[in-house]
Amino acid sequence: MGTALVTGASAGLGLEFAWQLATAKHDVVLVARDEERLTRLAAQLEAAAGIRAEVLVADLTDADDVARVADRLRSDESPVGLLVNNAGFGINQEFVGGDLERELTALDVMVRAVLVLSHAAAEAMVARGRGAILNVGSVAALMASGTYSAHKAWVRSFTEGLAVELKDTGVTATVVNPGFTHTEFHERGRIDMSQYPEIVWLNAEDVVATALADVRRGVVISTPSTRYRTMSALVRIAPRSAIRAIGRYRRAIEDAPTDADA
Ligand code: NAP
């Protein structure tokens, strides 16, 4: 796979992607907004794994920044063999009456940037006859959890279509659909998860290991863990009215007052 470019590499799943790829001896390009965290990570990866780690500070809500990352993906001097479109966040607001700017920010990071960067990477990779694109979706793509579900459903559908188009080019496209995973995601999004039992949680190490193994095998849809694969299979055959009922239940428990609110 050669050099890997990872968006959202400063925390959570992206940080774990960077570590596992570096440990497997891939050079990495680390993309996110937090320069200090990225620079520290790059130094740690170079020291621990003996690879080259490049820092590319970019805010993926900014079209010029996204264009700079796309230019890096087109480079022939130092080709990128794996693009991991991972950056994202939980929007955690009602659509009706919610902040429209925040909605557009989420769309920019989780849809527009994925589209622009995949476009640049796919073209360069097809010309070379090899490469892989890994998009981080979510099991939320199958649910009815507001615009976040819609963005992740787009990621899933987009990746499947891309995989069809890329067949026999030497380039693959994979979407990984994590369930709830211990990262900074819920804290940053101020999503109260205290009502959920421990059984629903995955750890970033397992999610990333499964995703990278599936990329290496050319799997198109990757769902880490048996419990979330089973859940996804059940959701696919369940009536959509039941899925909408789960959406209403989720809203109710995430809005419920907790001890911390008392
Ligand atoms: P996280 O720990 O909060 O990390 C999010 C990463 O995205 C950070 O590195 C952050 O970096 C970056 N990011 C956010 N906004 C950005 C922007 N405008 N420009 C550039 N980078 C930006 O969350 P995570 O759980 O690892 O999330 C990674 C992906 O997994 C997301 O796509 C998320 O939707 C998906 N996912 C997470 C879960 C879960 O339960 N954790 C479940 C399913 C799917 P900076 O702040 O430095 O920019």
For domain 3-255, the question of CATH label 3.40.50.920 is answered with no
Phi, psi angles (nearest 5°) of residue 50: 70, 30
Helical packing angle, 113-128 and 63-74, nearest 10°: 10
Task: Dump strand ranges (E) for the chain.
Answer: 3-7, 28-32, 53-57, 80-85, 131-136, 171-176, 181-182, 202-203, 221-222
DSSP class of 87: -
Q: How many residues belong to the chain?
A: 262
Annotated active-site residue in 25, 152, 167, 196 = 152
pLDDT at site 248: 86
Q: Which atom of ligand 1 is nearest to the CA of 178?
A: 43
pLDDT at site 262: 38
Q: Which two tokens stand for residue 26?
A: 């891939």
pLDDT at site 116: 99
Which residues pair with residue 221 across a beta bridge? 175
Between the CA of 127 and the centroid of ligand 1 the distance, in Å, is 30
Q: CA dist 114 to 63, 122, 146, 258, Å? A: 12, 12, 19, 36
Q: Is 152 a catalytic residue?
A: yes
pLDDT at site 255: 64
Q: Is 148 a catalytic residue?
A: yes
Domain boundaries, the chain: 3-255
Between the CA of 198 and the centroid of ligand 1 the distance, in Å, is 21
Q: Which two tokens stand for residue 6?
A: 């990872």
pLDDT at site 260: 43
pLDDT at site 160: 98
Which residues pair with residue 131 across a beta bridge? 171
pLDDT at site 33: 98
Around ligand 1, the residues with Cβ closer than 6 Å are: 8, 10-14, 32-34, 58-61, 86-89, 109, 136, 138, 178, 180-181, 183-185, 188
Q: Which residues of the chain have pLDDT under 70?
A: 255-262
pLDDT at site 257: 52
Q: Which atom of ligand 1 is nearest to the CA of 38?
A: 47
pLDDT at site 256: 58
Between the CA of 85 and the centroid of ligand 1 the distance, in Å, is 10
Q: What is the dihedral of CA 142, 104, 95, 153, to 10 degrees?
A: -10
